[in-house]
Structure 1
Amino acid sequence: MINRRQFLSLAALAAAPFPVLADVIISAPGEQAGQATVLGRLPADLQGVFYRNGPGRYELGGERYHHWFDGDGFAQRWQIADGKVSHAGRFVATQKFEDESKAGRFLYPAFGTYFDRKGMKNNDTINAANTNLLPFNGGVYALWEGGSATELDPQTLATRGIKTWRSDLKAMPFSAHPKMDPDGGLWNFGTAPGADKLVIYRLNAKGEVARTAIIPVPQLNMVHDFVVSGRHLIFLLAPYDFESGPERSLRENLLWAGDRRPMRAVVVAKDTLAVRQVFELPARSVFHFGNAYEDGGCTRFDAILYDGDALLKTTLEAREALRPVTDHPSSCIQITLDYATGQAREARLFGASEFPRVAPQVVSARHRKLLVLGASGHDLTLDSVNMIDTDSGKADGYAFGAGWQVEEHVLVPRRGARSETDGYVVGVAQDTHHAQTVLTVFDAHNMKAGPMALARLPYRAPVCFHGNFLAT
């Protein structure tokens, strides 16, 4: 049994990614449902559900959150079947959401906005369930990295309640970015800023906890994502100091220390669940990773790196005004960790970008294609979808242009796919000119040709952070 008290002594609040996207704010008890109008042709073999999640409520009782990682989770379900697309969305009925809805005002602290009107029992008291939606082992889980997964009904999105994977893991931080293993199980982690402890989870395909470990890591603060190779788990630690103060949010407690410390790559061996090696890289910040694989005596992996403090301008006001969220542009980088020399090498794959994804069949194995969103303009708005060849560096991409903001896209392989691009790219984009949210479908082998189909809703849905496609 692992020691929960090291984590439950601190409330590990959520952090989420940040493309430049406009909000649709829904007032509780808001729900959405509608049939999309399909333009173009949906492939006959593309059948399934695209589950998505993101913050949907930023205002309550005349008060407003300051930060766009703070909103209550609004789960969404896009059903693709027989050439038709339907959409449904509803709030995740967390304890936080229910308590605050009943009170008519915000009660608990959030990542970037401080409230302290009601005491907290544990991390799940303030669980916003607003970052990812994971279909796994027949269930669907709304994820937030500061506490437990929240189980939803796969059909109706009704909230079933907190998921406790094992009794001694109750209310433990469980990140919003688990990684699937080829055997159908998954790896995940959790952190508590200021505790300097990293918890590792290994769940089997039945959803049972197979292995856990708590690893001491000095100066461990906000970690949003990680990457998994054949033999390792890899974490990039940006140089933040954690300095707790009265009436301050977690965001205000995270102080950039890039002038004094490098970024660190902490490599954990899968067989021992212990730190194998630590590498130093130039001081930058990071949210998301693509994939990792072993290459002889090295591990190679993809990351989106920011030249400085990426949290600097992640305010709700900046998001709604469509201003750049950071003065520090991002780049998509492939990093090579050489265990013999202790050196980390870098190769730039793409410019301003976010939300890297690979085909699900190559996770933790050698990959040659990386899907990223790009920003074709100077304002850093994410408006393009790009397939990068990681060997040549060439990109096959499509830009939607002015008035569009693109959300995360994913690769959906055809049944029996023979290559990483033998399938489709499915995602969501916001058409701000027409105030519509649009499901997009590309041929993964020919992105530059543009979408094969666009499925337009007659309304705007809230922007989502992350999601996953479940084929049927």
Structure 2
Amino acid sequence: MSNRRQFLSFAALSLASSSALADSLTYRSFHAALAQNAQLSVYADSSGDLSGQATVLGQLPRDLNGVFFRNGPGRFELGGERYHHWFDGDGFAQRWHIADGKVSHAGRFVATQKFVEESAAGQFLYPAFGTFVDRKRVKGNDTVNVANTNLLPLNGRVYALWEGGSATELDPQTLATRGIKTWREDLKAMPFSAHPKADSDGGLWNFGTSPGADRLMIYRLNAAGEVTRTAMLTVPQLNMVHDFVVSGRHLIFLVSPYDWELGPDHSLAGSMHWNAGRPLRAVVISKDTLALRQVFELPARAVFHLGNAYEDGACTRLDAVLHEGDALRKTALPMRGESRMTADHPSATVQITLDYASGQAREARLFGVSEFPRVMPQVVSARHRKLMVLGASGRELILDSVNLIDTDSGKVDGYAFGPGWQVEEHVLVPRRGARSETDGYVVGVAQDTRRAQSVLTVFDAHNIKAGPMALARLPYRAPVCFHGNFLAA
């Protein structure tokens, strides 16, 4: 309990010490730019719930039936003020239902404590990741929980996830908010990451961090959603860790070289300072003991998302998207109306080999500017040969293509949507009884900014370059989502 109290006290201190105010200048700057550039609409504010039937173009596969749960930030503005960072917005959960060749959509704000209180007040009250507002005191992690990063279906329930606090349970049919999920009483309000990873028995691994506390919390849940194992480890200079990978024997975390400097004039994001003189670290935890096994060093890069990991003899191989320089800053630029994220910090998808005998880490480049790596669910933590990523036509992180990489040959099967589109994360959905990693579909969402419409896309995973098998167009634009999962009927 003392470790938990220390963990949470650092989190509360971090949240309470920021002071970069939300402002009307950012609001005016963004809207002036939006009037000239429709592509900025993906960062525009959303004001209410959505519900509609999509118009299907092409042919939906008969065996593709289920729900594609998605989540992302939806509210960026309130009372004439606008947030400074894309990650700040209040969570907007979405449900794409596919059945009998038809697609319906519903979207609803997650009714967190923060969202409810600020809606009633008509103004922002609490600090966010990259923006601070000091109108009301923060009492703990879940006071500022925006539940805006992922939707996790588990054991008949659905959870909205945000890495800084608890999971929030939603109704799987209506998306109505049921409330904060406490996995176990002694874990109340502990950070529960937005990127849990499945294990072979149907259970989950997950983690939580608190910037400034140098503590890494590990969770193991069974298929019923019960916590069966936990551990708290000390990791020096630990900062924001968004994702991780699980192999047959290990949990692996990539820790970017940010220095943590808590000050009265910085938001949480502003307290993280890029340090190119320190390495990117791969922290390897043994699944058997939940103890630190080894730490590897790589050249300084930032990282948000990892793909998969597997054991290869005396080595572990994993996929990651690595960004040159301070990637946190470029994700803030569109919030004030800059049309391009930046060309200064390009990214690349790489496969990293961790050699335990030599203590060395090696990299092999797989793809250029990219993000959101995914694999087929049946190969998570096992040997995989196909990796899905979104790509960008230029050095800017404007994602406009869907690509399936053969990690052995380096060949890419890809499709580019072209100008006026911005593509969201796509996932691989296997057919029943799938015998290969391309025996299934690629399902995702793309934003047609010229028509102000959100579009569900379906590809044959065996032939992506042929283009979508089906497009399901909504008659409106839904907020851009970060992550989601497909639940087969």
TM-score tier by shorter-chain length is: over 0.9
In the alignment, is residue 68 of structure 1 matched against residue 86 of structure 2? Answer: yes
| Corresponding residue for residue 267 of structure 1 | 284
- Offset of residue 318 of structure 1: 5.2
Percentage of matched positions with identical amino acids: 79
| Corresponding residue for residue 106 of structure 2 | 88
1:165-314 residue pairs with structure 2 within 5 A? 165-258=183-276, 260-314=277-331
Question: Structure 1 residues 147 and 414 mapped into 2: Cα distance closer, same or farther (>3 Å)?
Answer: same
- Offset of residue 2 of structure 1: 7.4
Q: State the SS of the aligned residue for 2:415.
A: strand
CA distance in 2, matches of 1:468, 1:401: 25
CA contact (8 A) 1:147 1:173 kept: yes
CA contact (8 A) 1:426 1:439 kept: yes
In the alignment, is residue 3 of structure 1 matched against residue 20 of structure 2? Answer: no
1:54 pairs, out of 68, 72, 77, with: 72
| Corresponding residue for residue 156 of structure 1 | 174
CA contact (8 A) 2:84 2:335 kept: no
- Offset of residue 314 of structure 1: 2.0
Total equivalences in the alignment: 465
| Corresponding residue for residue 461 of structure 1 | 478
CA contact (8 A) 1:197 1:220 kept: yes
CA distance in 2, matches of 1:331, 1:21: 26
CA contact (8 A) 1:139 1:152 kept: yes
Task: Name the structure where helix makes up a greater proportion of residues.
Answer: 2
Q: Unpaired segments of 5 or more residues in structure 2?
A: 16-38
CA distance in 2, matches of 1:221, 1:380: 23
Q: Let me know the Cα RMSD of the aligned residues.
A: 1.5
In the alignment, is residue 380 of structure 1 matched against residue 400 of structure 2? Answer: no
- Offset of residue 334 of structure 1: 0.1
Q: State the SS of the aligned residue for 1:3.
A: helix
CA contact (8 A) 1:303 1:335 kept: yes
In the alignment, is residue 338 of structure 1 matched against residue 338 of structure 2? Answer: no
- Offset of residue 376 of structure 1: 1.5
**TM-score, normalisation: structure 1:** 0.96
CA contact (8 A) 1:41 1:83 kept: yes
| Corresponding residue for residue 40 of structure 1 | 58
- Offset of residue 104 of structure 1: 1.1
| Corresponding residue for residue 46 of structure 2 | 26
| Corresponding residue for residue 417 of structure 1 | 434
Q: 1:301-358 CA distances to partner (integer Å, 9 max, x unpaired)?
A: 0000011111122225357543124611000000000000000011000000000000
CA distance in 1, matches of 2:172, 2:44: 24
1:127-142 residue pairs with structure 2 within 5 A? 127-142=145-160
CA distance in 2, matches of 1:432, 1:56: 16
- Offset of residue 118 of structure 1: 1.0
CA distance in 1, matches of 2:409, 2:449: 35
1:424-463 residue pairs with structure 2 within 5 A? 424-463=441-480
My pick for the range that moved more, 306-315 or 260-269, is 306-315
Q: 1:397-444 CA distances to partner (integer Å, 9 max, x unpaired)?
A: 000000000000000000000001100000000001111100000000
- Offset of residue 21 of structure 1: 7.7
Question: Structure 1 residues 171 and 161 mapped into 2: Cα distance closer, same or farther (>3 Å)?
Answer: same
Letter in 2 for 1:83: G
| Corresponding residue for residue 122 of structure 1 | 140
**TM-score, normalisation: structure 2:** 0.93
CA contact (8 A) 2:386 2:405 kept: yes
CA distance in 1, matches of 2:407, 2:2: 39
Question: Structure 1 residues 114 and 325 mapped into 2: Cα distance closer, same or farther (>3 Å)?
Answer: farther
CA contact (8 A) 2:386 2:406 kept: yes
| Corresponding residue for residue 402 of structure 1 | 419
CA distance in 1, matches of 2:274, 2:335: 20
